[in-house]
Structure 1
Amino acid sequence: MIHYPYENFYEMLFLITEEKSSKKVIFIEDKSYTYTQFLESVDRLARALELVCVGKGDRVALICPNSAEFVMSVFAVSKLGAVIVPINTMLKNEEYRYILDDCGAKILITASKFAKEVDGLCESVASIEHTIWIDKAPKENTCHLVLDEILTNHLHIHTPSLAKLDDTAVIFYTSGTTGHPKGAMISNRNLFSNFVAARERFDLSTNDRFIVYLPMFHSFTFAIMVVLPFFMRSSLVIVPSILPFSNIIKQTLLKRVTVFMGVPDIYNALIRAKLPWYFLWFNSIRIFVSGGSALSEDTLSKFKATFRRATMLEGYGLSECSPAVAVNPIEKQKTLSVGLPLYGYKVKIVNEEMMELPIGEAGELIVSGDCVMQGYLNNPEATAETIQNGWLRTGDIAKVDEEGYVYIVDRIKDLIISKGINIYPRQIEEQMMLLPSIKLAAVIGVNDPHSGEVPIAFIELEEGYEKTTASEIKGQLKEHLAAFKIPKTITVVESLPKTATGKVLKRVLKQGNY
């Protein structure tokens, strides 16, 4: 039985502040916050949310850049016993509308840089009562509020959080084969299990300093790079944007970062970059952690040769598991393996009948433990398909060696992972077939040296649209899909390969002979 020292994020913050009041917890550009200053900001924001009637169980959506306000929102919502819903900031208006409708968000917290894509959401999504802007509002009315204005002159006091260990803390939206995003409900217990496990696996201490440059809405970044540092009584360095990449290098050196987490695309960029000699000599990094997709053997070997004083640890996870499942231990890493299951978690490799397979044989990876989500919001059918007898079916094909190290072999689902972000072909296909020119579409993922994978499409055109170009189709898709979901290439074919029942044979397309 795992002991959890806190019921929720806010209780954690309050108790740690009593112990580490003057320690700096957040560094962002030329600003910093001590634990005391950060707690005061959280209390003020919680009071502001309370004044607009946010209470226990309410959903507060975040379409927000990497910022101190993002982190404050997470803890303020926890104080009120409400649920935070971090949303991908690269989506389009109609994609946001679906998610906000599905989760029943009461409040949307956002920034002016997203004004175009969030336009009209406050007025068109029935559940949203207010949009709170962390900088400036594009409209002035009772629906749109500016954070600084609602914080002015409001008293705030410490009151215990209403949130319990098994209450839902976060809803991560992750797309599925149906084409619509599904909300994975993650409890405080789920996330704290990840923190306890990460502390043990990474040998973390209060002296560690994390850097946060990947988007905070991502489950990996949210849990392991944003909230875990608080659990460890350590610190985090927030970089508002991944570009310019040179700034990440600069902040890593100047702020003495010790834990650097990223995805393969970042590590490939680090290897290609002409790093100054003083960075290689004077950086404080002791561990690099990679997730999202596998690093190539070439990348791993080059990385070890470049950063000789640090250890690269590959890991594996998914939003439905809060998110980390397995990571290589510091004392022994295996090339191409995602490591051993984290403390308190169990994994099995099973066949289609859910029967466990022998060591070394490939099958579906299933997971059990306190990391397993509560279920999908408003989707009991999908929940029942995914969680069976306490085991979560990942949809990934894997194998385990005699020492228990996990190796990801392939994916059962058609999931495409580009720069650590999940892309689901079905959603793209459905959107493409809404266009009058497209009769049938099939999207697959292909390897890409910069992104890991990118989507490409094969299409059959409707009669009368034979002159339609790929460029025209991409232009039409840009109105409805985030840029990273737009197929890199669109190939027109006379007829897609199909089964006798009309299902497209994607394996034929993936073989590259079509």
Structure 2
Amino acid sequence: MKKTVINMLHAAVEKYGNSPYVLEKGNSGYEPKSYIEIEEESAQIASALYDLAFRKNDKISVLAEGRRDWVLSEFGILKAGCISVPLSIKLLPEEILFRLNHSESKAIIMSRNTIEKIVPVWKNIKVNDFKIFYLDSDLEYVTDLFKKASIDIKENLISFPELLEKGIKSYEKNKANLEKIEKNIEEDDIVTICYTSGTTGNPKGIMLTHLNYYSNSRDAMEYFNVKEKYRLMIILPLDHSFAHTVGIYASLVRGLAIYFVDARGGAMATLKNIPINLKEANANFLLTVPALSGNFMNKMKAGIEAKGGFTKWLFNKGMNAGMKINQDGHKKADMLTKLINYVPYKIADLLIFSKLRQIFGTGMQYCVGGGALLDIRQQRFFYTLGIPIYQGYGLTEATPIISANTPRVHKLGTSGKVLSSIDYKIIRADGNEADKGEKGELVIKGDNVMKGYFKNEKAAQETIKDGWLYTGDLGYIDEDDYLMITGREKALLISQDGEKYSPEEIEEAIANCSDMINQAMIHNDHNKYTSALISLNKKVVEKFCAKNKITNSEQLLKHISESFLRINKMDDYANKFPDKWIPSVFRIIEEPFSEQNKMINSTMKMVRYKIREAYHNTIEEMYLPDAAKTNKEKNIELLNQMFFN
């Protein structure tokens, strides 16, 4: 049997048949589609696409929130021999246009939440007779939207129910041709073209094959030992490679039931629905990224802070006790430490932690984290709470999972162990393989490595050499064979003497050491010292000022400075970072880095080159001879505007 995702679906149907595969929130609760329903209806979608003259290797983009019909559409696209191009709902119209034209997409699947984005760029789509397959029922809304822009869309617009109906009617007629198409699908055929988030320039289209998805999905499920028919909550957008692989394909291996967060009403409604849907789905595990889990942690801490008194005291006592017992998860505390801390931890768990766990529903076992470095304090917090976040590591070019911590094998602060099917090595700057514990670039080889970049052979050859994927990520293998990722090679700080260091861990530490500091981006480009741009958590600062009766910006700056320097005093970070890389000067910025200002990408990572462009003059000022005086004056001036006007 060929190792294709279509054969994975066939095998799942044989084994799990009528079990729920994808569930979407409707007016009467979560409504399921079974494995067999997805199998049958995706064949009908393929038939409709065949009738519309879509043929092998034609591209169809998908721009929608996570939902059942995304999964159904993708299998329909693949059964027609076509290629899916998943797009982020956070893209701007011009970014969507670039991807549509670059991928040569002949159609796009869209929803009510995304349809407005294509109107401004419609006339610049290069493909003739470009189609929109619309997932929702309000077609009049779409035609009116285009009419206001003086565009007649009727010939190009097809509703999803209409597409399905067309496929039902034509399936018997097209069945033989579709079976032939499916039979001719090879392991090396492309399933998706996934565009990078473009933190260093124009995005690249990553070509992932049937074998890529087949191998990574099976390896991840076996390594993680996920139980059959577990319930998985998908909050991450489905274009995110982590959610795409685990949500759509790895689920087939264990017959998982996939619950999507209710996205009706748009982005704000989606955020409000997350805690509600978690309880309704009663999921067993959740895919998360640091920004999302950090939001959960901060809200829990804020709730405890608001209660104060005995609750706050017991929470802190229990957290400290639990962390001492758990240590790093790999090496537990000695018996004496366990005995000393057992009672306060158990009391806090009974009275407080157990109630906080209810936020995730009664079935939640653990979360799986990826997408960016997860700060050690977050990991320890959730581990002690009783809902561990098992950090993994990967990148889209690797489909994406490379390593993971699991319930059976884990060590907090690491990215886990590399999947057994993947060959790996750490390469030093001189090109030689590093020894254990020695830092270098991680390179990997395996069936999960991408086919290449679409229409960019040069970049592919620079990234894949002799079958080895050069990840661009720096790290090392520790004494217990766990992978430690320290940062991106392209994000490196460079000192005056040419020494290099990854900034991500320090940036996370600065933000996690202070409730007042929301974000930090540190900078050193052959300078004498390291500097930082920081954004503030405005609500926290306002509460702090009210509570501590701070009435002017000079007083406030003193407290922010103390908060900023806390990284030197916290046990979690003591002696962890060389002094030269800890910022000695900072500038407060008014507007946080965000997706709206394009300084955060769709995977919640900082787009450093854009930040440096936007704040070029500010960064330069931090290295002038009178920098200390200028920084103080500018910070005081901004704090006045933000809090004391």
Q: TM-score range by the shorter chain?
A: 0.7 to 0.9
Q: Distance in 1 between matches of 2:359 and 2:199?
A: 43
Deviation of the 1:32 alpha carbon: 1.3
Structure 1 residues 456, 54: CA separation in 2 closer, same or farther (over 3 Å shift)? Answer: farther
Counterpart in the other structure of 1:98: 98
Counterpart in the other structure of 1:110: 110
Please say if 1:208 is aligned against 2:230: yes
Q: Distance in 2 between matches of 1:173 and 1:492?
A: 28
Out of 176, 182, 199, which is 2:204 matched to? 182
1:78 alignment partner, SS class: helix
Counterpart in the other structure of 2:88: 88
Q: Distance in 1 between matches of 2:492 and 2:204?
A: 14
The answer as to whether partners of 1:46 and 1:80 remain within 8 angstroms in 2 is yes
Deviation of the 1:267 alpha carbon: 1.7
The one-letter amino acid of 2:283's match is V
Counterpart in the other structure of 2:10: 14
Structure 1 residues 94, 457: CA separation in 2 closer, same or farther (over 3 Å shift)? Answer: farther
Structure 1 residues 327, 471: CA separation in 2 closer, same or farther (over 3 Å shift)? Answer: closer
Out of 252, 261, 282, which is 2:278 matched to? 252
Out of 412, 418, 423, which is 1:346 matched to? 423
The answer to which structure, 1 or 2, has the higher relative contact order (CA under 8 A, 6+ apart) is: 1
Counterpart in the other structure of 2:346: none
Structure 1 residues 240, 52: CA separation in 2 closer, same or farther (over 3 Å shift)? Answer: farther
The one-letter amino acid of 1:141's match is K
Counterpart in the other structure of 1:442: none
TM-score norm. by structure 2 comes to 0.64
Structure 1 residues 482, 345: CA separation in 2 closer, same or farther (over 3 Å shift)? Answer: closer
The structure with more strand, counted as a fraction of residues = 1
Counterpart in the other structure of 2:617: 493
The one-letter amino acid of 1:322's match is T
The answer as to whether partners of 1:57 and 1:82 remain within 8 angstroms in 2 is yes
Larger deviation: 16-25 or 216-225? Answer: 16-25
Q: Distance in 2 between matches of 1:215 and 1:294?
A: 19
The one-letter amino acid of 1:11's match is N
Counterpart in the other structure of 2:240: 218
Q: Distance in 2 between matches of 1:118 and 1:328?
A: 40
Q: Which string of whole-angstrom CA distances, capped at 9 and with x for unpartnered residues, describes residues 313-346 of structure 1? A: 1100000000010001322311211011112102
Q: Distance in 2 between matches of 1:44 and 1:369?
A: 34
Q: Which string of whole-angstrom CA distances, capped at 9 and with x for unpartnered residues, describes residues 360-399 of structure 1? A: 1111111111111111111111011100111111111101
The answer as to whether partners of 1:346 and 1:369 remain within 8 angstroms in 2 is yes
Deviation of the 1:79 alpha carbon: 0.7
2:410 alignment partner, SS class: coil
Counterpart in the other structure of 2:162: 149
Counterpart in the other structure of 2:395: 318
The answer as to whether partners of 1:212 and 1:225 remain within 8 angstroms in 2 is yes
Larger radius of gyration: 2
Q: Distance in 2 between matches of 1:480 and 1:249?
A: 27
Counterpart in the other structure of 1:364: 441
Please say if 1:24 is aligned against 2:37: no
Larger deviation: 241-250 or 93-102? Answer: 241-250
Deviation of the 1:151 alpha carbon: 2.8
TM-score norm. by structure 1 comes to 0.79
Counterpart in the other structure of 2:135: 134
1:413-492 alignment, distance < 5 Å? 413-414=490-491, 447=508, 448=511, 490-491=614-615
The answer as to whether partners of 2:64 and 2:113 remain within 8 angstroms in 1 is no
Larger deviation: 225-234 or 246-255? Answer: 246-255
Structure 1 residues 150, 296: CA separation in 2 closer, same or farther (over 3 Å shift)? Answer: closer
Counterpart in the other structure of 2:470: 393
The answer as to whether partners of 2:262 and 2:277 remain within 8 angstroms in 1 is no
Counterpart in the other structure of 1:412: 489
2:233 alignment partner, SS class: strand
Q: Distance in 2 between matches of 1:306 and 1:58?
A: 48
Structure 1 residues 109, 289: CA separation in 2 closer, same or farther (over 3 Å shift)? Answer: same
Unaligned ranges ≥5, structure 2? 147-152, 304-352, 494-505, 525-588, 635-645
- Identity fraction in percent: 23
Q: Which string of whole-angstrom CA distances, capped at 9 and with x for unpartnered residues, describes residues 448-487 of structure 1? A: 55999677999xxxxxxxxxxx999x99x96999898685
Deviation of the 1:118 alpha carbon: 1.0
The answer as to whether partners of 1:92 and 1:479 remain within 8 angstroms in 2 is no
Out of 382, 396, 402, which is 2:479 matched to? 402
The one-letter amino acid of 2:245's match is A
Structure 1 residues 144, 123: CA separation in 2 closer, same or farther (over 3 Å shift)? Answer: farther
Structure 1 residues 490, 480: CA separation in 2 closer, same or farther (over 3 Å shift)? Answer: closer
Q: Which string of whole-angstrom CA distances, capped at 9 and with x for unpartnered residues, describes residues 161-193 of structure 1? A: 242211111111014565100011111111111
Structure 1 residues 375, 482: CA separation in 2 closer, same or farther (over 3 Å shift)? Answer: closer
Q: Which string of whole-angstrom CA distances, capped at 9 and with x for unpartnered residues, describes residues 236-282 of structure 1? A: 11114475546333333333311211011222222233595682696
The one-letter amino acid of 2:204's match is K
Q: How many residues align?
A: 456
2:105 alignment partner, SS class: coil
The answer as to whether partners of 1:8 and 1:188 remain within 8 angstroms in 2 is yes
Structure 1 residues 488, 73: CA separation in 2 closer, same or farther (over 3 Å shift)? Answer: farther
The structure with more helix, counted as a fraction of residues = 2
Deviation of the 1:353 alpha carbon: 3.9
Deviation of the 1:286 alpha carbon: 2.3
Structure 1 residues 329, 19: CA separation in 2 closer, same or farther (over 3 Å shift)? Answer: closer
Q: Distance in 1 between matches of 2:132 and 2:520?
A: 34
Provide the aligned C-alpha RMSD in A: 3.6
Structure 1 residues 492, 379: CA separation in 2 closer, same or farther (over 3 Å shift)? Answer: closer
Q: Distance in 1 between matches of 2:458 and 2:613?
A: 35
The answer as to whether partners of 1:314 and 1:328 remain within 8 angstroms in 2 is yes
The answer as to whether partners of 2:262 and 2:273 remain within 8 angstroms in 1 is no
Structure 1 residues 285, 6: CA separation in 2 closer, same or farther (over 3 Å shift)? Answer: farther
1:375-390 alignment, distance < 5 Å? 375-390=452-467
The answer as to whether partners of 1:177 and 1:413 remain within 8 angstroms in 2 is no
Counterpart in the other structure of 2:451: 374
Q: Which string of whole-angstrom CA distances, capped at 9 and with x for unpartnered residues, describes residues 279-311 of structure 1? A: 26962122321111222222122212212xx44
1:119 alignment partner, SS class: helix
Q: Distance in 1 between matches of 2:199 and 2:271?
A: 34
Deviation of the 1:55 alpha carbon: 1.5
